[in-house]
């Protein structure tokens, strides 16, 4: 009955991540469930050991603990391989040979995300050495977000058959996320609104695996003074660099919830619990 934090190891954590962590820990406290930790390092070209080291130091600085073993995506892909084999047996995946260039040419101007129209879906290409795509169903996926209320996603219109593994064998976020939520027995997902559009397609994967889907709460994103989303590429403002420059964790906790005077973790959690309580359900 756990929830989880699953930071991507593609940069140092910043204030937006701290705000996210507060939502997860406030939710866990309210529900009386533990927090599991997942190191999201499926993107081998971008993950760096330094980011992981910094993550552990940051969590320690804020006094945020987790339950159980840390799941590191690169450590063991056996479960991912098994799940792909299961989808293959069910005829739900296929190999795709389209290049990035070809994919770009298939896009409609102004589309919010990459859409795959199923060009290779009947070619019967081997999975090995090709991008592996999941055949999305035509269904409208309805779910009740615990903050935003009822949502409806239609993956067949949003993204089409999405990639779950690239031609080099590297698994994708969508696939790892669902497999890991199953492996870690995650019953509650608390994450930023930026990933809300992924939920419908992830629900289709849960159904394909015949696994129970977790509940979802998508929280607002923290913006900087100019109203821009915090970006991981803003290295200068990483939590790590500020902590190393002597800024206290209490000061950063205050900033994450829009206050000026340093506050404890308990107070920061109370602030976010207030926002959580104003949620839709
Ligand atoms: N690594 C993803 C992120 O940081 C996790 C998204 C999720 O929780 O599913 O946004």
CA-nearest residue for atom 5, ligand 1, is 6
Ligand 1, closest atom to CA 198? Answer: 9
pLDDT score recorded for residue 231: 65
Give the residues across from 192 on adjacent strands.
219
Q: Does the C-beta of 8 come closer than 6 Å to ligand 1?
A: yes
Ligand 1, closest atom to CA 40? Answer: 1
Q: Does the C-beta of 158 come closer than 6 Å to ligand 1?
A: no
Q: Does the C-beta of 6 come closer than 6 Å to ligand 1?
A: yes
pLDDT, tens digit, 9 for 90 and up, residues 209-263: 999 999 999 999 998 777 777 765 555 589 999 999 999 999 999 999 999 999 9
CA 8–ligand 1 middle distance (angstroms): 7
Contact yes or no for 24/190 (Cβ under 8 A): yes
> Token pair 């790590």 is at which residue?
240
Q: Does the C-beta of 4 come closer than 6 Å to ligand 1?
A: no
- Whole-model pTM: value is 0.95
Q: Say how far apart CA 71 and CA 76 lie, in whole Å.
A: 9
Contact yes or no for 162/201 (Cβ under 8 A): yes
Q: Report residue 191 as tokens.
A: 């994450």
Sign of CA dihedral 199, 203, 204, 205: positive
Contacts of 54 (CB under 8 A, 6+ apart): 12, 13, 238, 239, 240
Alpha helices in 123-248 (DSSP H): 155-158, 173-183, 199-208, 239-244
Domains in the chain with CATH codes: 3-280 (3.40.50.620)
> Token pair 């309210």 is at which residue?
30
CA 230–ligand 1 middle distance (angstroms): 14
pLDDT score recorded for residue 168: 96
Compute, in degrees rounded to 10, the torsion defined by CA atoms 12, 16, 19, 24: -70
CA-nearest residue for atom 9, ligand 1, is 177
For the sheet containing 3-5, what is the strand order? 3-5, 35-39, 71-72
Find the angle CA(31)-CA(214)-CA(221) to the nearest 5 degrees: 75
* Furthest CA-CA distance within the chain: 62
CA 7–ligand 1 middle distance (angstroms): 6
Contacts of 167 (CB under 8 A, 6+ apart): 129, 130, 131
Q: Does the C-beta of 177 come closer than 6 Å to ligand 1?
A: yes
pLDDT score recorded for residue 226: 76
Contact yes or no for 103/116 (Cβ under 8 A): yes
> Token pair 């992924």 is at which residue?
198
Beta strands per DSSP E along the chain: 3-5, 35-39, 71-72, 93-96, 131-134, 141-145, 149-153, 163-165, 188-192, 215-219
- Residue 281: burial class (beta carbons within 10 Å; 0-12, 13-18, 19+): exposed
pLDDT score recorded for residue 233: 55
Which residues of the chain are under the pLDDT cut of 70? 231-236, 280-281
pLDDT score recorded for residue 139: 95
């Amino acid at each position: 009955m756990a929830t989880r934090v699953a930071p991507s190891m593609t940069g140092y954590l910043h204030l937006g991540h701290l705000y996210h962590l507060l939502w997860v820990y406030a939710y866990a406290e309210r529900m009386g469930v533990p927090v599991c930790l997942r190191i999201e390092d499926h993107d081998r070209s971008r993950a760096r050991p330094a980011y992981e080291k910094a993550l552990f130091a940051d969590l320690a600085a804020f006094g945020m603990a987790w339950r159980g073993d840390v799941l590191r995506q690169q450590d063991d892909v056996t479960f991912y391989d098994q799940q792909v084999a299961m989808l293959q047996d069910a005829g739900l995946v296929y190999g795709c040979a389209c290049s990035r260039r070809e994919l770009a040419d298939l896009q409609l101007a102004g589309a919010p995300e990459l859409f795959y129209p199923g060009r290779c879906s009947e070619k019967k290409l081997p999975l090995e050495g090709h991008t592996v795509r999941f055949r999305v169903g035509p269904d409208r996926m309805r779910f009740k977000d615990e903050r935003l209320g009822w949502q409806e996603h239609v993956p067949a219109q949003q993204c089409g058959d999405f990639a779950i593994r690239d031609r080099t064998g590297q698994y994708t976020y969508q696939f790892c996320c669902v497999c890991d939520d199953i492996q870690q027995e995650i019953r509650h997902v608390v994450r930023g609104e930026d990933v809300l559009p992924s939920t419908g397609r992830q629900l289709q994967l849960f159904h394909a695996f015949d696994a129970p889907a977790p509940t979802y709460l998508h929280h607002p994103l923290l913006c900087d003074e100019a109203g821009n989303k915090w970006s991981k590429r803003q290295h200068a403002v990483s939590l790590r660099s500020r902590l190393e420059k002597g800024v206290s964790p209490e000061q950063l906790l205050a900033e994450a919830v829009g206050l000026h005077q340093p506050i404890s973790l308990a107070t920061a959690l109370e602030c976010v619990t207030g926002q959580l309580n104003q949620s839709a359900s």
